[in-house]
């Protein structure tokens, strides 16, 4: 389905056919799953980046403490 079709059906869901509603449900479920997967991957990436940053920052602070 195209985004415009999905938006039209969502806006006018009361007058849409059962088939259209089922197609939109499938589209939304797939979109939800993809978005959730992306968010999880980005969360792990962000955590990893934060851990690396903190390790490097701690090492820099230790090296420059005596200078």
Neighbours of 8 (CB within 10 A): 14
Task: Return the pLDDT at 61.
Answer: 95
Per-residue pLDDT reduced to its tens digit, 29-58? 999 999 999 999 999 999 999 999 999 999
Output the pLDDT for position 13.
96
**Cβ-proximal residues to 6 (8 Å cutoff; 6+ apart), any chain:** 24, 27, 28
CB atoms near residue 9 (< 10 Å): 18
Q: What is d(CA 44, CA 39) in angstroms, rounded to the nearest whole number? A: 9
Reply yes or no on whether the pLDDT at 66 is more than 90.
Answer: no
User: CA–CA separation, 17 vs 45, rounded Å?
Assistant: 42
Q: Convert the pLDDT of each residue in 10-35 to its tens digit.
A: 999 999 999 999 999 999 999 999 99
pLDDT score at 24: 98
């Amino acid at each position: 389905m195209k985004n415009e079709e999905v938006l039209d059906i969502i806006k006018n869901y009361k007058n849409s056919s059962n088939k259209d509603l089922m197609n939109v449900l499938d589209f939304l479920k797939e979109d939800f799953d993809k978005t959730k997967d992306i968010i999880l991957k980005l969360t792990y990436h962000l955590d990893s980046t934060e851990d690396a940053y903190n390790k490097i920052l701690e090492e820099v602070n230790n090296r420059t403490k005596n200078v």
